[in-house]
Amino acid sequence: MESGGSIFNAMLQEFDGAARLLGLDQGIWKVLTHPKRQIAVSCPIQMDNGEIEVFTGYRVQYNITLGPAKGGIRYHPNVTLDEVTALAAWMTWKCAVAHVPFGGGKGGIIVDPNRLSRRELEALTRRYIAEIVDAIGPEKDVPAPDVNTNDQIMAWVMDTYSMHVGHTATAVVTGKPIEMGGSLGRREATGRGVMIVTREAAKHLGFDIKGATVAVQGFGNVGSVSADLLAKIGAKIVAVTDWKGGVYNEKGLDIAKMIDYAKQHKTIEGFSGGEPIDNAKLFALDVDVLVPAALENQITGQNAGSIKARVIAEGANGPTTPDAHQILHDRGIFVIPDILANAGGVTTSYFEWVQDRHGLFWEESEVNHRLETKMVEAFHDVLETSIRYKTDLRTAAYIVAISRVATVTKMRGMYA
């Protein structure tokens, strides 16, 4: 199996390729390939039926050289420490590529949140945060939403932390509701970033995004907003799949209607605007742009050969395995890697953290304008690096990230 099935090993393979090209110092190499801190906690919860269940949670602070650890919390039955560690490493490189002053972290709980009541979900969130309360904080580690978590869960995170420290600490978490220190534009930010880099890629490759065809895997916060904003700049979204089903229409799907449908049904399956389609067929569509915006390991050695898209914009973290990466590269597909393509979320999280710490909140247009500037800069930093090093965009993104973190690691020096 590719990378021995370990997502962390897949991350290391990507890292090594870039570190070699960069001629990275061996000592710094060792530092940057080890997580700083991995926390595992047990969270006992009294369920609605009176029984006690114990859930396992993790928080990994991969690197805090550039600033507080930053990264989301995911609730999923397949969460593992290996996965959370890889995701925390990816956050480190993502924050460095986006040029925001954060390190990288990630959290996860092994749970299917769809099987919990609202009360159980709140109890689990509060207990998990109570278990890691000493490790997080506005200057230490700042969680955010990720797969299956949302602004309500972030509100409970903020409240639990605040109750423990004895004062309201809005900057401990981002992706909060607007009413309690959230930022305008944060919910849409990851999808907005995907739209911006896709638009820049089309410009670079010389095709018009207006009328370009797009297929999107995943219709959560990232997939739905990416599809919506790409449609708004004139692209034609011809196919979408989610955890349950998919819809295809060569004339284009009405994404605004699909978003309403998904809100009601928790899936797009059964949406009447087209014919059913599955992931394998979606990946093989003859489209201009493919946006994988679901989970890791979706584009593999098995299906990479069937992909016909010119551009892949990785809305998800780690959707492409190392084997598949090589195949896509050999086939000349322009892959905008996760640590660049989906960096819009954490960039606006940075803006949220800044606003919370200042107690001064910006208009949505200012948030979006700043995000636009940051994403365009990051895209061009990576593109220029790929040209200078004659390499693909993923390796180039790692080169940008590693050199930024390595420079500061050397400046700070080794303690003791």
Catalytic residues: 106
Residue corresponding to tokens 């690197």: 63
Report helix, strand or coil for 288: coil
Nearer to ligand GLU, 109 or 144 (CB): 144
Which residues, including other chains, have CB under 8 Å from residue 55's CB and lie 6 or more apart?
42, 43, 45, 109, 110, 111, 124, 128
Q: Do the beta carbons of residue 262 and residue 268 sit within 8 Å?
A: yes
List 184, 340, 346, 383, residue binding ligand GLU (CB under 6 A): 346
Nearer to ligand GLU, 105 or 246 (CB): 105
List 221, 317, 321, 395, residue binding ligand GLU (CB under 6 A): 317
Report helix, strand or coil for 48: coil
Residues 129, 139: Cα–Cα separation, whole Å: 16
Where in 249-308 is the site for ligand GLU (CB under 6 A)? none
List 125, 148, 160, 349, residue binding ligand GLU (CB under 6 A): 349
List 239, 341, 345, 351, residue binding ligand GLU (CB under 6 A): 345
List 217, 342, 385, 409, residue binding ligand GLU (CB under 6 A): 342
Q: Pick the piece of the chain touching ligand GLU (CB under 6 A) from 32-40, 41-49, 69-77, 267-275.
A: 69-77
Residue corresponding to tokens 């978590």: 149
Nearer to ligand GLU, 238 or 397 (CB): 397
Report helix, strand or coil for 273: coil
List 146, 151, 296, 314, residue binding ligand GLU (CB under 6 A): 146
Nearer to ligand GLU, 45 or 97 (CB): 97
Q: Pick the piece of the chain touching ligand GLU (CB under 6 A) from 30-38, 65-73, 271-279, 359-367.
A: 65-73
Q: Tell me: does residue 221 bind ligand GLU (CB under 6 A).
A: no
Backbone angles phi, psi at 160, to 5 degrees: -60, -45
Total of chain residues touching ligand GLU, rule CB under 6 A: 11
Burial of 230 (0-12, 13-18, 19+ CB in 10 A): buried
As a residue count, the chain comes to 416
Which residues, including other chains, have CB under 8 Å from residue 207's CB and lie 6 or more apart?
288, 310
Burial of 137 (0-12, 13-18, 19+ CB in 10 A): middle
Minimum distance of ligand GLU from residue 71's CB (angstroms): 5
List 65, 148, 174, 213, residue binding ligand GLU (CB under 6 A): 174
Residues that bind ligand GLU (CB under 6 A): 70-72, 144, 146, 174, 317, 342, 345-346, 349
